Amino acid sequence: MRVRFEVLQGEFERVLIKKGLTAELARVNATLFAQNSLDGIYSHGLNRFPRVMDYIDKGYIQVNAVAERDDGFGALERWNGNMGMGPSNARRCMGRAVELAGQYGIGCVALHHTNHWMRGGAYGLHAADLGCVGICMTNTSPNMPAWGGLDNRIGNNPFIVAIPRADGLHFMLDMAVSQYAYGTVEKAMRDGKMLPVPGGYDKDGNITSDPKLLWESRRVLPVGFWKGSCMSMVFDLLAAGLSNGNTVQDIGKIGTEIACSQLFIAISPAKCGDPGFMRQITDSTIEHIKASTPESEGGNIYYPNEISYITRADNLENGIPVDEEFWAMVQAM
Amino acid sequence: MRVRFEVLQGEFERVLIKKGLTAELARVNATLFAQNSLDGIYSHGLNRFPRVMDYIDKGYIQVNAVAERDDGFGALERWNGNMGMGPSNARRCMGRAVELAGQYGIGCVALHHTNHWMRGGAYGLHAADLGCVGICMTNTSPNMPAWGGLDNRIGNNPFIVAIPRADGLHFMLDMAVSQYAYGTVEKAMRDGKMLPVPGGYDKDGNITSDPKLLWESRRVLPVGFWKGSCMSMVFDLLAAGLSNGNTVQDIGKIGTEIACSQLFIAISPAKCGDPGFMRQITDSTIEHIKASTPESEGGNIYYPNEISYITRADNLENGIPVDEEFWAMVQAM
């Protein structure tokens, strides 16, 4: 079943208003959830929406709280998310980082006590739409072991870098520092498929691509083994340290993935050097990468986030494929 | 054979002066090369020194050129490396980013037409010694295939994030975005050992930990497969785009790893929020990670860059282990 973007967005908006959000906050958050599904990030669009509504019902999320500036010094600011909606808080803080970049060339906003931002790429794209490089990161619950350890003490802390392009199809890295999300592992397990590359260790410490063994062991792999383990920790310390917010360890003590810390950096290439240069080399890099000798005959090489734009175009034309169970849940709310 | 830090540094300084560097530039660069060996990064200390001297002899490096400011806007500046020595240029630009962070909370310096910085971590540590978070990245020659491709079109573009600690033993990620450096692959091959985790693909496209097969195929693996491939490209575009410098593609056309682009960001945690907070959560995170259940009984969990400090303490006490061939080459220069 496929549902038009406007219909999905409208339903989210209706439910959010029913949950008590102001019209403005309902619109911003509904749009972000619907855009995530539109771009093919279903796990952080429709499929996650019911859980977020549950968090509102449980009082984990303060529906009308918005992020506010605690203090700042020049291009660096510290904001309090006040436990409000993660997507609108994150969008506001990246918007503020872009304003600071307009004033200082670069701007940095550290945000504490906010909630899950859903798809981090949404804020990278927001900065890029405003002509800036967008860099952001968030911490999470502890969901991976540190390298050399067995118990989950580090987060898969997503990291985003977006480079603006003239046509709006921005060049964007949007990655968690685990090789796979548990959602991907679960899906492969249900589909009875092996993961395309090793995703972690089984209970006996053997590296494996078998999602069933990973689901049992809960030992998913950081990207690049010890390297991703270190990435996870520095991203946590950057976001929590600069915002004076919760670390992954603190979120683990809460026991639910709420009250996170995030960092937003925007850089304005127009403020320094040739403003067209970055766009030109981005296009030239895309062309160069795509001209690689493909691994398999006729194979395509995609630039970062390209597949999401292909999905977006398809979903705009043909409607967004929805998981009927989740869609029915939202319609019944 | 082990050689004292001061002896190594003195020899480097002597040779650099003979090559025509000013006393000041010789001192700065000799110290950086010697510190890299001191910290156990032999590949970018003594072992790389002869190749850099060869690049000077060939005229690739302008011995007395220094980095100069092209232009800037607030906290964002663009510098020209003037094809000077990579280590002193990089140190100067991170120092400038720290000055900007003192003025604006965050500072960013993009550097073009510089040369190989040796160990990127040296500049992260420099920022951290000055009380700042240090983030930096460089581009390189094309030395990996993009994800889905077979020919080398992306760089292993190192990425560094350093978090300052009170005792000077800073928490630092210092990683190339390839799983292994070719130097590591070569060493394992010579030692007749398998790599501890898969490092790339053999000629037939099978994933392998066999260094001999990797050496033949030249298909090393980005960290996290497709994720590291995307990281490589965004780091290249950030460094080259903001500095208006060469991309990995451009360096490939030169054919030698010179005239690189680099980016240096410093953030001053003291300018925003509780200045002691970041140090406190860093220490607490280290303690928490080290208390993990170890993978193997009695196993240690290290924090990022800790092993390098253990090596440093040993090398300060007992002298730096030197490759006798390289050491003899330097002494004969």
pLDDT tens column, B36-65: 999 999 999 999 999 999 999 999 999 999
Of B129, B164, B136, which is closest to residue A238 (Cα–Cα)? B164
Contacts of A145 in chain B (CB under 8 A): 292, 295
| A104, two tokens | 């200082």
Confidence of residue A210 (pLDDT cuts 50, 70, 90): very high
Chain B, residues 107-146, CB within 8 A of chain A, namely 107-108, 110, 133, 145-146
Q: Which residues contact B245 (CB under 8 A, 6 or more apart)?
A: B110, B111, B112, B113, B239, B259, B260, B261
Question: Is A230 in Cβ contact with B272 (below 8 Å)?
Answer: no
Cβ of A70 and B230 within 8 Å?
no
Determine the pLDDT at residue B231: 98
pLDDT in the model for residue B232 = 98
What average pLDDT does the segment A193-200 reach?
A: 91
Contact: A243, B273; criterion CB under 8 Å: yes
Which residues in chain B touch residue A205, judged by CB atoms under 8 angstroms apart? Answer: 295
Whether the predicted pLDDT of A206 surpasses 90:
no
Dist. CA B80–CA B77, nearest whole Å: 10
pLDDT at B184: 85
Question: pLDDT value at position B307?
Answer: 97
Whether A247 contacts chain B with CB within 8 A:
yes
Radius of gyration of chain B (CA): 20
Which residues, numbered 153 to 182 in chain B, qualify as contacts with chain A under a Cβ-Cβ cut-off of 8 Å?
Answer: 153-154, 161, 163, 171-173, 175, 177, 179
Task: List the single residue in B104, B277, B302 with the smallest CB-CB distance to A104.
Answer: B104
A163–B237 C-beta distance less than 8 A:
yes
| pLDDT (tens digit per residue) in A31-42 | 999 999 999 999
As given in the structure block, the two tokens for residue A314 are 């398809």
Within an 8 Å CB–CB cutoff, is residue A16 touching chain B? no
ipTM score assigned to the predicted complex: 0.97
Distances (CA, A) of A195 to A39, A145, A147, A208, A244: 23, 20, 21, 9, 38
Per DSSP, the residues of A175-208 read E-SBSS-HHHHHHHHHHT---SS--EE-TTS-EE
Buried b (16+ CB within 10 A) or exposed e, B198-224: bbbbeeeeeebbbbebbeebbbbbbbb
Distance CA A83, CA B264 (A): 33
pLDDT of residue A168 exceeding 90, the answer is yes
User: Would you say B317 and B37 are in contact if contact means Cβ atoms under 8 Å apart?
Assistant: no
B63 to chain A, any CB pair closer than 8 A? The answer is no
SS (H, E, C) chain B: CEECHHHHHHHHHHHHHHCCCCHHHHHHHHHHHHHHHHCCCHHHCHHHHHHHHHHHHCCCCCCCCCCEEEEEECCEEEEECCCCCHHHHHHHHHHHHHHHHHHHCEEEEEEEEECCCCCCHHHHHHHHHCCCEEEEEECCCCCEECCCECCEEECCCCEEEEECCCCCCCEEEEECCECCCHHHHHHHHHHCCCCCCCCEECCCCCEECCHHHHHHHCEECECCCHHHHHHHHHHHHHHHHHHCCCCHHHHHHHCCCCCEEEEEEEECHHHCCCCCHHHHHHHHHHHHHHCCCECCCCCCCCCCCHHHHHHHHHHHHHCEECCHHHHHHHHHC
pLDDT at A283 over 90: yes
Phi-psi region of B258 (alpha: psi -120 to 50; beta: other; left: phi over 0): beta
Q: What Å distances lie between residue B49 and A289, B41, B54, B62, B257, CA to CA?
A: 33, 12, 9, 16, 15
3-state SS, residue A173: strand
* Residue B329 C-alpha, separation from nearest chain A C-alpha, in angstroms: 33
Provide the annotated active-site residues of B: 44
**A126 is known as an active-site residue:** no
> For residue B240, what are its two tokens?
């080259």
Identify the pLDDT of residue B52: 98
Judged by a CB distance cut-off of 8 A, whether residue B206 touches chain A is no
Q: Residues of chain A with pLDDT > 70: what percent?
A: 100
- Could you tell me which residue, B21 or B201, shows the higher pLDDT? B21
Sequence length of chain B is 333
A324-333, B57-66, B174-183: the lowest-pLDDT one: B174-183
pLDDT the model gives residue A198: 86
Which residues 30-49 in chain A show a CB within 8 A of chain B? none
Q: How confident is the model at residue B187 (pLDDT cuts 50, 70, 90)?
A: confident
Q: What's the whole-model pTM score?
A: 0.97
Mind listing the pLDDT tens digit for each residue in B76-113? 999 999 999 999 999 999 999 999 999 999 999 999 99
Q: What pLDDT was estimated at residue B181?
A: 83
Q: What is the pLDDT of residue A205?
A: 83
Other C-beta atoms within 10 Å of B298: how many? Answer: 5
Mean pLDDT of A315-327: 97
> Cβ–Cβ of A151/B289 closer than 8 Å?
no
Q: Would you say residue B175 has pLDDT above 90?
A: yes
Q: Which two tokens stand for residue B269?
A: 């945690």
Mean pLDDT of chain B: 96
Rg (CA), chain A: 20
